[in-house]
Every structure is written in structure tokens, then in C-alpha cells.
Amino acid sequence: MNDRKLQPIGIFDSGIGGLSVLEEARKLLPHEDFIYFSDSANFPYGDKKTNELKKIIIKNIKTLVDAGCKAIVIACNTATSVAITDLRKKFSIPIIGMEPAIKPALEGRHEKILVLATPLTLKLEKFNQLRSKLDKEDELIILPAKGLAGLIEKNVLNGSDKKEIKKYLEKLFSKINKKEISTVVLGCTHYVFIKDLVQKLFSGKKVIDGNLGTVQHLKKVLKEKNLLNKQKGKGNVCQINTK
């Protein structure tokens, strides 16, 4: 494909979580073609050692680069934390990462911000660098949600009810003083699928994710690099799944 503007955008995740990012991207960039890459064979990423996971991610991103993608979104907070620096060194195309939407959550707020993410995302250097740059770090409550992404993946794929997830969340939030929370940050793309449950448990509070901000950044980068597809008509989506 000679015209780079017509090349697809890659959206990568370990499972179904990145579909929520893809949905946002198709709204904001309706003329673009997308390739959605789900690495189901290696899900969940949080159970793997960092070096092993980095090799898996780099291999998968190479597949998207070889498929002709003009830009790639790492629609996974854990994969971003583990590999984004290495990916940008290795590949010349724009690679957009995810991070918990802490900065917008803190704007104009004086109450506590609850950050919900996978244990691996919260443990890695990228998150701690983000946290250390904040003026209001003391306003954050960091809550690792071990196994939650796996529960959500199983629920979405099997089409079962959310009773198991609701029970998990009630236990997870049992020691949180909900009255002092102003905003809940969903720090994993899988969690967007249970945004309604979290909202019910934190009635009247704001629940946000990083999807829109990430896609807006993608659009900005494509525009700066003159890579926006200006063709008329709705773009297509194809999928790659390692399982």
C-alpha cells in the first residue's frame, strides 16, 4: 500500500479489553481501517514475568507492523508499562500507550481519587513515575484488583451474568470509605466493561477511564504526521487472535 494514509491502525490488547478502545477510536476516527489484535493465548498478562511478557508483546507488535499498520495503540495499561519504551525504540511508526487517567481525575478535586488497576501495572516503574510527578499524590488511593481482568474476560466471552464480578467488587471495596471518594479511575481497559457496576457501587461519584484521552492523542499524532485517512465512507475492522 503506497499511500500511508490508507494503511490501517493497529489496536493491541491481551484480550477483549481493548475492544472498548477500538469502539472509542471508531467513533472519533470513522474513516480509518483498524486491525484488532487480541493475544488470548497469553492472557492474562499479569501472571507472567516482566522479561517474558516483554518478548511476547514485541513479537505481537511486529506482527501488526508487518501487516502494514501506520500507527499502533497499546490498548492495555500493563503492556504499556512493560514494553512501551522498547517498542518505540524498535519500531519507527507512532506507538500510543495507555495509562490510568489520574491527571484529569485530579483536576479541580479535593476529595480522594480511587485508582483501580492490575497489580502488575501498579508495581511497574511507569506507574510510579506518573504518580511521583503529581502534586496531589496524597489524594490517591491505589487499589490493586488481582484477577478482576480474568473474571471480566470470562464473563464477556461466556455471556454470563455479573453476579461473580459484583461479589468480587463488593469485597474489594469493603474497606474503602466511599464518602471520601470523588472519582474512581479505571486503570485497565477490561474494567470499562463493568463501568456500570462500579458506578452503582459508587453512586453519585465520577467513574472515568483513559480510553477517550488515548484516542484523542492518537488522532492528534496522526494529524501531526499527516497520516489521517480523509477518504469518505466508514472504515473496516479485521481481527487477529492468537488463540
List active site positions: 76, 188
Question: What is the identity of the amino acid at 137?
Answer: E
What is the SS3 assignment for the chain? CCCHHHCCEEEEECCCCCHHHHHHHHHHCCCCCEEEEECHHHCCHHHCCHHHHHHHHHHHHHHHHHCCCCEEEECCHHHHHHHHHHHHHHCCCCEECCCCCHHHHHCCCCCEEEEEECHHHHHCHHHHHHHHCCCCHHHEEEEECCCHHHHHHHHHHHCCCCHHHHHHHHHHCCCCCHHHEEEEEECCHHHHHHHHHHHHHCCCCEEEECHHHHHHHHHHHHHHCCCCCCCCCCCCEEEEECC
CB-facing half-sphere around the CA of 207: CA atoms within 13 A:
18
Of 2, 6, 5, 21, give the one whose Cα is nearest residue 217: 21
